Amino acid sequence: MSDFQLEPAIEQTSLFVCDLGDFTLRLVDDARYLWLLVIPRIAGITELYDLSANVRHDLTEHASKIAEIVQSKTSADKMNIATIGNIVPQFHLHIIARHKDDEAWPNPVWGLGQAKPYDKKLAEGIISKLNLWLSDIRT
């Protein structure tokens, strides 16, 4: 994993939250949604099937736990979990807390309007909460 580098587009549009074992968790810098990315720290991965069975299992377990915790803490109406990668080829898994009153509901969030970057203090507060909420699964 030493040759892993985060895709610049992901780094520029998201904020570091924490590391979860072999994965990095980032908050998408769009205050319209609580939108997280889970990125395996493995170079050259573009598809889910590129991951070994063990890493896929760990990714699924982490994503499920993250989604469950975030849903319980935010009362989200639906948790969207997806891999797309049409624009950014580096494999990343989206976990998005959706609410019936968000501006995209019930449609996907991709490509809708312009991102609204977080105020620095709000982002710091959300990242702090996420780290607290996820403390049991951080390694």
**Distance separating alpha carbons of residues 94 and 15, to the nearest angstrom:** 14
What is 8-133's CATH number? 3.30.428.10
> How do residues 55-107 score in pLDDT, each as one tens digit?
999 999 999 999 999 999 999 999 999 998 888 999 999 999 999 999 999 99
Phi, psi of 44 (to 5 degrees): 80, 10
Mean pLDDT throughout 1-28? 93
- State the pTM of this model: 0.95
Residue 23 and residue 54: Cα distance in Å, rounded? Answer: 13
Domain boundaries in the chain?
Answer: 8-133
